[in-house]
Amino acid sequence: MKGTINSGTITGFSIRFLIMFVIAVFCGFSALYGADRTPIDVNLIIDGSKAFSDSKEEITSWVNSRLDAILAEGDRVTIWNAGSISRVVYTGSINSNTDRENAKKTIRDFTGTGETADFAGALREAVSKQNADFNYTLLISASSENLSSALSGPQANLFRFSKVEDFSAWRAIVVGIGIDAKVRKASASFFGSN
C-alpha cells in the first residue's frame, strides 16, 4: 500500500495541486466536526470476511468512538456488511441518543464469515444512494487481499481521494465519494481557470 515518490517527478504544478487538494479535503472534512452543519450521509462499510473476527474488539471500539465524534442530529447512517455479497445491516437517521446507540449496537453485534469481502458492491450501492451534499464514507478492511480486489476493480477510482489509517491488522479508509468534482472546482478556482 505504501509507495515512494521519485523526486525527479515532482513538478511545481504537482506541488500546487497537492497543496490545493489538502486544503480542499481539510475544509470539506472539517465541516464534519462543526455543531451547526447540514445533515450528511454516513456510509460505513465493514469487512464481512472471517478476517474481521481477529480484530473485532479493536475495530468496534475505534469505529464507535469515531461515530461519536462525527454524528450529529439529522445525519443519515447506512452500515454495510461487506461479506461474500454486501448487504445493508442498518440504515436510519440520527435524531436521538437512542438512534446513535442502535447504530453502535449494530457494529458491536457485527460478525464476519466467509473468505471474501464485497467492498465493490457496497461502494457501488453507496455511490448510487448519494442524497446529501456531503457524504462521509468509511471503509474498514481487515484483509489486504480483499481490499486489493476493490482497488483493482471498477470502483478503484473512488479511492483516488481517500485517506488511509493503518492499524496493526486492519485499515480504516475514508473514501472520497463525490469529492472529485469538488476538488476539480477548488483547483480551478485556486489556479484562476474555469
Map 152-174 to HEC letters: CCCCHHHHCCEEEEECCCCEEEE
Report domain extents, the chain.
Answer: 39-178
> What angle do the packed helices 12-30 and 179-191 form, to 10 degrees?
120
Q: What integer best gives the mean pLDDT of the chain?
A: 80
CATH 3.40.50.410 for domain 39-178? yes
Least confident of 47-61, 115-129, 172-186: 172-186
Tens of pLDDT, residue by residue over 115-147, are: 999 998 899 898 888 775 678 899 999 988 878
Instruction: Give the mean model confidence (pLDDT) for residues 39-59.
Output: 94
